[in-house]
Amino acid sequence: MGAVTAARGRRLRPLLRALALCCALAASAAAAQSGDAFGDGSLRPPTGPRFADPSWYDLVDVTLLAGDPVRIALTLGAIDGSGGLALGITQPILEVYIDSAEGGAEALLPGSGLAMPLGTGWQVAIRVTGDGAWAWEAAADGVVDLAAAVPVEAVVDGTTITVLTPFARPEQEARLYAVSGVYDPFRADGWRPLSREPSPWAFSSDQQQTPVVDVFPGDSAERAAALARGELPRVDIAGGIAPGSLAWVWLMGAGIALALAGLVLRMRPMRRAAAATVGDDPPPADDPPARYVTVALPTMTVRPAAEVELIDESELPSSPDDTERVGAAEAQSVRVTETAAFPPAPLALPAPRPDASTEDASTADPPATDAPAVESPTRSSETEAPSEPSRDAKRS
C-alpha cells in the first residue's frame, strides 16, 4: 500500500503545480486591476497623509449592472470617510462614461483633460465626489449642457459605490470608461491639477500632463499609453459584466478544468487496477489474510409426545370423592396432552381401585326425584349420575 500511495503522489504533483500556477496567474491578473494607481508611472503621491494613500483612487472594478434604469458599481481599493462629506468618501473624484450608440460627445467633462477613443463618443456621463453624484446626457450631435446636470443617488457599501441614474439602460452593446483623480471642492470642475514639485495635497510629476491618477480598465502599461495619447482605453461590456475584469475568471475556469482532467486521469489507473483484481487472485502481500471462525450452534432434542393411558367409563367409581379425583385426573391428562410436545417426562395415571359399596350403589335403582341429573364429566350424555337423595338413603 505504501508503494501505491507514493506512486499516486508522484502522479498528482504535476497537477498540483499546474493548479498553483493558475492561482498565481489569477492573482496577478486581479492585481493588474488594483494597486497600481499612479498615472503613467511618473506620478509621486502627496506627501501629506491625508491624500497619500493611492488605494483611495484605485479603480479596482467598474461594472454596468443589469436591469433598468442604468446602474453603475464602482469598486475602489479603499474608501476614507474621515472628511465628513455627504457621500462618505473624501479624496477621489470619479467619472464614468457610457458609449452605447453612434455619435455622442467626444470630449470628457472638463477637468481630466482626456478625450474618448478616436471615432467614439459617450451618451451618459456620471461624476461622483464626496459631495454627491451627478449625471449628464449628451445629445446626438455631441452637445453637452453642463448646467443640465442631474443629481443622482449614490450609496457607499464597503469599498463599492453604487450609482442609480434615471436613464434607460441601452439595448445594444455598450462601452464603458472610467477615470479617477484628486477631488478639489474649491474648483468648478472638481479636479485638482498636478504639481511639478512634491506637494502635501496633490500628486506631482515632471512628465505627466493630465491630473488623472487611475484609468479603468488596463494595467500600468496600458494606462501609461492611454495617458500619453490623451484618450481613454476601451472596454466592451455585455449583459452587465465588464470583460476587462474577467481575466481572472477565465484563469479560474482553466484551473477548474485542469483539476477535473487530473481527476479523470487519476481514476483511470484505479479502474484498471480494480478490473485486474477481479477473479480468484490472492490478496496483496501487504493486506492481512482473512480469518474465518466456525461457530457451533446448539442442537435441540424434541421429545416424543407422552402417551396417556385411557380410562374406560365402566371402571370409574360413582362416589363423589372418586368422581372428583377422576375429574382432576382427566383435566391433568388433557393438560399433559396439550403440552406433550416438550414434556419434562412421560406421565402415567394410576388406575382407580374398585369399591364394593360403590358397585352396590351404582347397581341400585335410584328413587324418582325432581332434581336435575348431574352428568359426569367422564361419562357420555346417555349415562346419568345418581341423584343426591339416593346417596342419603344408602347411608341411612
Q: Alpha-carbon distance 66 to 71, whole Å? A: 8
Report the pLDDT value the prediction gives residue 93, as an integer from 0 to 100: 96
Report the pLDDT value the prediction gives residue 21, as an integer from 0 to 100: 55
Stronger pLDDT, 348 or 264, i.e. the higher one: 264
pLDDT higher than 80, residue 182:
yes
Report the pLDDT value the prediction gives residue 187, as an integer from 0 to 100: 94
What is the average pLDDT across 134-156?
A: 89
Backbone angles phi, psi at 67, to 5 degrees: 105, 175
Q: Name the average pLDDT for the chain.
A: 72
Partners of 179 in beta bridges: 95, 215
pLDDT-based confidence at 223, cuts 50/70/90? Answer: confident
Report the pLDDT value the prediction gives residue 124, as an integer from 0 to 100: 93
pLDDT higher than 60, residue 378:
no
Q: Is 104 left (phi over 0), alpha (psi -120 to 50) or beta?
A: left
pLDDT higher than 90, residue 338:
no
Cell readout for 297 is 450452534
Q: Alpha-carbon distance 334 to 324, whole Å? A: 15
Report the pLDDT value the prediction gives residue 213, as an integer from 0 to 100: 94
Helical (H) or strand (E) element with 74: strand 71-76
Report the pLDDT value the prediction gives residue 147, as an integer from 0 to 100: 86
**Under a CB-based contact definition with an 8 Å cutoff, are residues 98 and 123 in contact?**
yes
Render pLDDT for 263-282 as a digit per residue (tens, 0 to 9).
Answer: 776 666 666 665 555 554 55
pLDDT-based confidence at 179, cuts 50/70/90? Answer: very high
**Under a CB-based contact definition with an 8 Å cutoff, are residues 159 and 81 in contact?**
no
Stronger pLDDT, 202 or 364, i.e. the higher one: 202
Stronger pLDDT, 342 or 167, i.e. the higher one: 167
Q: Alpha-carbon distance 332 to 371, whole Å? A: 30
Residue 30 CB neighbours (<10 A) = 17
Q: Alpha-carbon distance 193 to 46, whole Å? A: 12
Cα 347 from chain centre: 74
Residue 64 CB neighbours (<10 A) = 24
Alpha helices in the chain (DSSP H): 2-32, 220-229, 247-276, 320-338, 356-363, 388-395
Q: Alpha-carbon distance 216 to 180, whole Å? A: 9
Report the pLDDT value the prediction gives residue 289, as an integer from 0 to 100: 58
Q: Alpha-carbon distance 213 to 299, whole Å? A: 96
Cα 172 from chain centre: 37
pLDDT higher than 80, residue 325:
no
Cα end-to-end distance, the chain, whole Å: 107
pLDDT-based confidence at 109, cuts 50/70/90? Answer: very high
pLDDT-based confidence at 33, cuts 50/70/90? Answer: very low
What DSSP designation does 190 have? -
Q: Alpha-carbon distance 134 to 175, whole Å? A: 20
Stronger pLDDT, 120 or 258, i.e. the higher one: 120
pLDDT-based confidence at 374, cuts 50/70/90? Answer: very low
SS3 label, residue 13: helix
Report the pLDDT value the prediction gives residue 34, as an integer from 0 to 100: 47
Percentage of the chain modeled with pLDDT above 70: 52
Render pLDDT for 245-259 as a digit per residue (tens, 0 to 9).
Answer: 445 455 667 778 777
Cell readout for 203 is 500628486
What DSSP designation does 153 have? E
